[in-house]
Amino acid sequence: MASETASAASVLTLAPPLEQLRHLAAELRLLLPGVRVGEARETTEEFNREVFWRRLNEAAVKVSWEATALTTVFSRLPLPSPQETQRISEQVCAAVKAIIAVYYSLPKEQGITLRKLVRSATLDIVDGMAQLVEVLLITPPQSPENSNLISYNNVWVACQQVPQIPKDNKAAALLMLTKSVDFVKDAHEEMEQAVEECDPYCGLLNDSEEDNHSNEDVLGFPSNRDLYWSEEDQELIIPCLALVRSSKACLKKIRILVAENGKKDQVAQLDDIVDISDEISPSVDDLALSIYPPMCHLTVRINSAKLVSVLRKALEITKASHVTPQPEDSWIPLLINAVDHCMNRIKELTQSEI
């Protein structure tokens, strides 16, 4: 009799369904900081790669299934009872915590690059589930807005991406290096296109605006110096382009060497290569942005020097990692010479700015 009374009391104290959803969304959001900074759990068990990936895939399927169940009951009327809402919320939270636990079971010894990819996938799933709960909170059941927001929600996409994650640190390193190559390639193509057209802001002004402001400065509108390159600017762009080309060549060569000569057990060396290579693309972006008018030659020089420093370090780390066979590392001094030549030319052209 006492247990029945206690059970009835607990039912009476349950929050309404939407209030429980609000609490669930907040609870899921609170999990994100821990995943971002969380370390691998210490264990005496030997790591089994096959078991880990099976558990991660199963956990992702479970999250996806719970997301579908949650959506089904909250996308129609009547809303579920407080008791049913509590049960569903607990299952959603348990599924999300389960995939986080699987991520924590991946040791750092398997590779920092691989762990970052798994962490990113886990964060996408947790964030996607939190977004889904928030969507269900703010849109009425059975409304078109509800269906559209849910159908494009990230949680199912994130869960479907889990089987595509590279299964070892070498594969993870190759994926990250490929992304870096693509980023630098895009930046180089944009720079080349702007130079070929001799119009860095082509298409941003219509013909009438160009006619009105081509010969005089008007308050609130950019002047010629703000829109076009001077002869000195155009001369400086040439070695900058060559430097970005060298950056692309450097990343491509590193990626090829890792693919052909990298060993799966060279975990720390591959992590070092990826870490320094990740710095090349942002440095290229900084240089690319600084060549647009109005160009500050001193800023171009500073950004060029930063890029050269990163490239030199990337080449040194690659050489020390032994992914480059000794007879085949002659390309490294050649590339360093090309990079130094670009930098020396940039210094010559910006000497008056010092």
Query: What is the predicted pLDDT for the residue at 216?
Result: 45
CA 160 and chain centroid, separation = 18
Checking 8-11 for CB contacts under 8 A at 24+ apart, the result is: 11/82, 11/83
Query: What is the predicted pLDDT for the residue at 195?
Result: 84
Whether residue 170 contacts residue 268, with contact meaning beta carbons closer than 8 Å, is answered with: no
Query: What is the predicted pLDDT for the residue at 146?
Result: 60
Q: What is the pTM of this model?
A: 0.84
Contact residues for 133 (Cβ-Cβ < 8 A; gap 6+): 21, 24, 25, 28, 70, 92
The segments of the chain whose pLDDT lies below 50 read 2, 5-10, 203-210, 212-222
Q: How many residues does the chain have?
A: 354
- DSSP H or E run through 6: helix 2-12
What's the rounded Cα separation, in Å, for the pair 89 and 229? 59
200: preceding bond cis by omega (within 30 degrees): no
What's the rounded Cα separation, in Å, for the pair 43 and 66? 29
- Max Cα-Cα span within the chain: 93
Query: What is the predicted pLDDT for the residue at 321?
Result: 86
pLDDT in tens, 177-197: 999 999 999 999 999 988 887
pLDDT in tens, 230-274: 999 999 999 999 999 999 999 999 999 999 999 988 999 999 999
Query: What is the predicted pLDDT for the residue at 223?
Result: 52
| DSSP per-residue codes, 40-108 | PPP-SSPP-HHHHHHHHHHHHHHHHHHHHHHHHHHSSSSPPPHHHHHHHHHHHHHHHHHHHHHHHTS-G
What's the rounded Cα separation, in Å, for the pair 234 and 238? 7
Query: What is the predicted pLDDT for the residue at 77?
Result: 85
141: preceding bond cis by omega (within 30 degrees): no
pLDDT in tens, 267-286: 999 999 999 999 999 999 99
Q: Residue 161: count other Cβ atoms within 10 Å of its Cβ.
A: 15
Query: What is the predicted pLDDT for the residue at 239?
Result: 97
Query: What is the predicted pLDDT for the residue at 20?
Result: 95
What's the rounded Cα separation, in Å, for the pair 41 and 107? 7
- DSSP H or E run through 204: none
